[in-house]
Amino acid sequence: MSHTGIGARVRRKEDARHLIGRGRFVGDIRMPGLRDVAFLRSTYAHARIVAITRPAGSEGSVYTVDDLAGLSPIVTRSTIPGYKESTHWPLASGKVRFVGEPVVMAVAASRAEAEDLCDAVQVEFDPLPVIASSEAGRAPDAPRVHEEWPDNLFLESGFDSGVDEVARTAPVKVTREYRTARQCMHPMEGKGVLAYWDYQASQLVVVTSTQVPHMIRTGLAECLGLDQSRIRVAPPDVGGGFGYKCVLQPEEVLIAWLALTRKTPFRWVEDRREHLTAGANTRQHQYRVTAYADERGRLLGLDAEVMVDTGAYSVWPFTACLEPSQIAGNLPGPYDFQAYRCKTYTVATNKPAFTPYRGVARTGVCFAMELTIDAIARAVGREPVDVRAENLVTAGQMPFTNVTRKHFDSGDYPASLQRAREMIGMEAVRARQGSGEPDGRHIGLGFATYTEQSAHGTTVFSSWGLSVIPGYDQASVKITPDGGVEVRAGIHTIGQGLETTLAQVASEILTIPIERITVTLGDTATTPYSTGAYASRGIVMSGGATSKAAQTVAGQVRRIAAHLMKCAPEEVELRDGRIFAGNRSIAFADVGFAWYMRPDLLPTDVDSRGLEATEAYKPAVDSGVFSYATHAAVVAVDPETGMVEILDYVIVEDCGRRVNPMIVEGQAYGGTAQGIGTALFEESPYDDLGQPLASTLLDYLLPGPTELPSIRMDHFETLSPYSAHGVKGVGEGGAIAPPAAIVNAINDALAPLGAELTEVPATPERILAAILAARGR
Ligand code: MCN
Ligand code: SMO
């Protein structure tokens, strides 16, 4: 029998339906009486709503905020002192705060008719001055995004272990300003939600494309004023989430409210334009970083000031401050230094709310830190890879607690850098640079090393001010009467492969092949509580809970099997999908039969739960486990056109024990593709009036196969001492390093011209501007 447990490179169970078009997404659902919803959205970034005029006879089809009887606004709380809450009415109340904010909701038999209804509504706006950037938001006399606030800051916060001493004494000082562009995330399936009233269960059923079904139920219950037991969140297939779908969306609240009050089914499915101009915004950071080092480039300290343009509203449940908190905590990266100060400003602006996106703050943090390491290397005249190697936390220091109390559990960071250096062939690249390119392009080499914290525990969430997120997870495992297995977990499958890998974990313990294991995820009515799929926590948390539940069930099986085979439970061994005692064996079905059909065959002290168990996994250490990787890129830059070509790209990653190596590779490839988008292409610019300038995929450039290099990959497997089976999360890692590795490579290529880039995406325009600026110096 083939091994389908941990480490097996098995094909994904979910692909069996997805590859033949049998996935079932919100948009696929057919239901009698289903009505579609469209939104009239604000065309102004900041304006008072003077009047809304509906077409005659549209009562019951066109809604404004005044019609939302019984609904409470989304208010995201935080325990961090000084944090300001935003009151987010799902339909604008009194004024609009960003272009794309829903003002009117229309329902009709089809989306097209609902859009026509929206077109027939007249809204009179009285424009207000617009806060279109972090700088504008922080200006002394800036108008207020939320008039009841004294300023435009959700929070002013940071970390300070003292840098004054090193600032005075350090021989090398490097200061840079970095910017990462505002972006959207573009899962293949946009956000979508369908809701209906289930008369039989007397429940509101919300079929929503989400990463966090159990949390969405809590959020909806708060807004609707309904008991959580009266709400069932039953997510269907989710065509990618990437962070966008781990927050409560206003549209989700509105569709649920419609279904609750009208008791008929309603649906909204985001279109691409809504995603680009009204949905999630992410990534935009601005840094001012001063690094202090010795003559060899050994880091002595870091002083940073960071602004994050978090848009108008604080997302539920993570708040607008998640990203800045993570920036302050993660900026020191995988490096060992003690003097650190980071001041963060979470600025409210007239833009859509800022949501987490694969990598969360760490993509920007890695960009700022890794470019700073290269800048130090240039300042001291050494190879960046050597300066990097000498600053990394070493294997001998593990477990290592850094300046911001991140507790790195295991791994060999310098070895991943060394391996990447070998794979990319650094010496050959340097030789090639020396001889020059026949086509006049410049070759450059760049590295980036990062850590990926996953499976954070409760105290980490509470340190970010979040009280609704327990840092643990549960899963259930059950043997069916015929000897198959059912796994249930409240985390959801969003494309990342958990339907397969949780089956693999159960298979590892019970030895039953995954073909006989069904995995049910996400539905709040049928799965135990989970906070959901985000922060690369799935395999550590839900995998850990599945492992524990499977072990409990294995014990139950052993007890019954021992009784049936007249031996001691310790003599019973589970192997190859059967149950052995010495050279005798019985099937799992025999044990199933005994428990379910023949109580007379059971031992008297049998576990009354039978052949099933729900167990919880709580991280052994609250700061979780840390994956890490080094990415290396070789690029060619054309100084005449500013065009960049990625000639080579390698990844050396370590996520502990790989449950499914093929899925891990897929995660790293996919994440890296998104990271390359951040590095070179993707940008949602806004003008001074807060108008989004990228409203189609002609303006917003997503990388496709032709833009992506073929990526070479190697893996280390340093088992975490803190997690079940030594696993560490990997879902976000790929997206963290590419902007840093690629721009370091671009800067290496531009070094002979004296030009340096400090902003992504590294568009031809920006590269040419950097070259021209260097010429002018
Ligand atoms: N895995 C493994 N062995 C490991 C680590 C992980 O086999 N040592 C597998 C897991 O079993 C799982 C996948 O890799 O199938 C990712 O696991 P994990 O890192 O635990 O992440 P989560 O399950 O919590 O998924 C969320 C994570 C995040 S936060 C984002 S953002 C992201 C990502 O996953 N969104 C994705 N990957 C995505 N992949 C797809 N296709 N779609 C998304 O929306
Ligand atoms: S951005 Mo991932 O959902 O943590």
* Complex confidence, ipTM: 0.99
Mutate to test the pocket of ligand 2, among 191, 212, 494, 732 (most ligand atoms within 8 A of CB): 732
Residue found by looking up tokens 């090639």 in the block: 432
Condensed to tens digits (0 to 9), the pLDDT of residues 187-242 reads 999 999 999 999 999 999 999 999 999 999 999 999 999 999 999 999 999 999 99
Closest ligand 2 atom, residue 358 Cα = 1
Among 238, 244, 358, 363, say which to mutate for ligand 2: greatest number of ligand atoms within 8 Å of CB. Answer: 358
pLDDT of amino acid 159: 96
The label of the residue with tokens 């708040």 reads 319
User: Which residue's C-alpha comes closest to atom 10 of ligand 1?
Assistant: 539
Listed residue (98, 87, 122) closest to 46, CA to CA: 98
Q: State the closest ligand 2 atom to the C-alpha of 356, by its place in the atom list counted from 1.
A: 1
Residues 6 or more apart whose Cβ sits within 8 Å of residue 704: none
User: Smallest Cα–Cα separation from 737: which of 760, 719, 705?
Assistant: 760
How far is ligand 1, taken at its centre, from the CA of residue 676, in Å? Answer: 18
What SS3 class is residue 64?
coil
Our answer on whether the CB atom of 318 is closer than 6 Å to any ligand 2 atom is no
Q: What pLDDT band is residue 1 in, cutting at 50, 70 and 90?
A: low
Instruction: Tell me what the mean pLDDT of segment 561-571 comes to.
Output: 96
Pocket test for ligand 1, best of 493, 536, 722 (most atoms within 8 A of CB): 536
CA of 722 to the centre of ligand 1 (A): 19
Q: Note the ligand closest to the C-alpha atom of 315.
A: 2
> According to CATH, what is the number of the domain 15-21+472-617?
3.30.365.10
CB 729 within 8 A of CB 628: no
- Distance from residue 360's CA to the centre of ligand 1 (Å): 14
- Span from the CA of 644 to the centroid of ligand 2 (angstroms): 29
Q: What is the pTM of this model?
A: 0.98
DSSP structural state of residue 705: T
Q: What is the dihedral of CA 721, 715, 398, 547, to 10 degrees?
A: -10
Q: Pick from 12, 492, 496 the residue to mutate for probing ligand 1's pocket: most ligand atoms within 8 Å of its CB.
A: 496
Q: Atom 4 of ligand 1 has which residue's CA nearest to it?
A: 658
pLDDT tens figures, 87-127: 999 999 999 999 999 999 999 999 999 999 999 999 999 99
Q: For residue 253, what are its two tokens? A: 């609240």
Topology agreement, domain 15-21+472-617 and domain 361-452+621-776: yes
**Sequence-distant (≥ 6) Cβ neighbours of residue 484 within 8 angstroms:** 512, 516, 517, 518, 588
Q: Which residue has the tokens 């207000």?
A: 128
Residue to substitute in 492, 539, 720 for testing ligand 1 pocket (most ligand atoms within 8 angstroms of CB): 539
Which of 215, 207, 203, 272 lies closest to 246, judged by CA?
Answer: 215
Q: Is it the case that residue 418 has pLDDT exceeding 60?
A: yes
CA of 320 to the centre of ligand 1 (A): 23
Phi/psi for 643 (5° steps) reads -75, 140
Of 209, 346, 345, which is closest to residue 279 (Cα–Cα)?
A: 209
Among protein residues, the one whose CA lies closest to atom 13 of ligand 1: 496
Which CATH topology does 31-128+186-277 take?
Aldehyde Oxidoreductase; domain 3 (3.90.1170)
Distance 750 CA to ligand 1 centre (A): 36
Class of domain 361-452+621-776: alpha beta
Where are the domains positioned within the chain? 15-21+472-617, 31-128+186-277, 361-452+621-776
Instruction: Compute the distance between CA of residue 9 and CA of residue 701 in angstroms, rounded to an integer.
Output: 33
Beta strands in 254-375 (DSSP E): 266-269, 285-293, 299-309, 339-347
Q: How far is the CA of 302 from the centre of ligand 1 (A)?
A: 32
When pLDDT is cut at 50, 70 and 90, the band that residue 132 belongs to is: very high
> Residue 213 corresponds to which amino acid?
P
Q: Which amino acid is at 772?
A: L
**pLDDT for the residue numbered 415:** 98
pLDDT the model gives residue 471:
80
Mean of pLDDT values over 713-724? 97
From 201-205, 339-343, 455-459, 765-769, the region with the lowest mean pLDDT:
455-459
- If you measure from the C-alpha of residue 775 to the centroid of ligand 1, how many angstroms do you get, rounded to a whole number? 45
The helix or strand, by DSSP H or E, that contains position 315, with its residue range, turns out to be none
State whether residue 369 is helix, strand or coil: helix
Give the pair of three-digit tokens for residue 257: 């409210």
Is 652:715 a contact under the CB 8 Å cutoff?
A: yes
Give the helix/strand (H/E) hosting 646.
Answer: strand 644-654
* Contacts (Cβ under 8 Å, ≥6 apart) of 33: 264, 265
What ranges make up the beta strands (E) of 294-399?
299-309, 339-347
Q: Give pLDDT tens digits for 14-70.
A: 999 999 999 999 999 999 999 999 999 999 999 999 999 999 999 899 999 999 999
Tell me, in angstroms, the distance from the centre of ligand 1 to residue 732's CA: 7
